[in-house]
Chains A and B, each alone.
Chain A
Amino acid sequence: MISVNCSKKLKLNLSSIATILLLSALIACNDHQFVQGEALYQAYCSSCHMSDGTGLKNVYPSIIFSAELKSGNFNLPCAIRYGHQKRENQIAASMDGYPKLSDVEISNITNFIYHDFLKQKPKSFNKIRKSLKTCAK
Chain B
Amino acid sequence: MNNCIYLLSLCLLIISCKQVDNTPLPIIGNKMMLDGEEVDHYIPDFTFTDQNGNTITNNDLDDYVYVADFFYTFCPTICPTVMKQMLTIYDEFESNPKVKMVSFTLDPKRDTPEHLKQYADNLGIDHDKWLFLSGDKDATYDLAEKHLVSATYDDPTSEDGFNHSGVILLVDQNRHIRANAQGTDPDDIPDFLDDIRKLLKEIETKSK
Contacts and interface: CB of A to CB of B under 8 A. Distances in A.
Contact of B78 (A47, A56, A57): A47
Nearest to B114: A91
A47 B80 contact: yes
A92 B74 contact: yes
Contact of A50 (B76, B77, B81): B81
Interface residues of B, number: 18
Is the contact region of chain B dominated by helix, strand, or loop, or is it mixed?
A: helix
B74 A57 contact: no
Interface in A105-134: none
A91 B80 contact: no
Contact of B122 (A46, A50, A91): A91
B104 to A, nearest CB: 16
Most chain-A CB neighbours within 10 Å: which of B73, B76, B77, B123?
B76
A46 to B, nearest CB: 8
A89 B124 CA distance: 13
Contacts of A33: none
A58 B84 contact: no
Contact of B80 (A60, A89, A90): A60
A90 B115 CA distance: 10
Contacts of B124: 57-58
Contact of A57 (B76, B87, B115): B87
Given A47-B76, A47-B81, A59-B83, A91 B115 contact: yes
Interface residues of A, number: 14
Interface of A: 46-48, 50, 56-60, 89-93
Interface of B: 73-78, 80-81, 83-84, 87, 115, 118-119, 121-124
B92 to A, nearest CB: 16
Given A50-B84, A58-B124, A92 B77 contact: no
Contacts of B119: 59, 91-92
A59 B118 CA distance: 10
Nearest to A58: B122
Given A47-B80, A50-B80, A58-B121, 19 more contacts: A47-B76, A47-B77, A56-B80, A56-B84, A56-B123, A57-B87, A57-B123, A58-B123, A58-B124, A59-B80, A59-B83, A60-B80, A89-B118, A90-B122, A91-B73, A91-B119, A92-B73, A93-B73, A93-B75
A91 B77 contact: no
A52 to B, nearest CB: 10
B123 A59 contact: yes
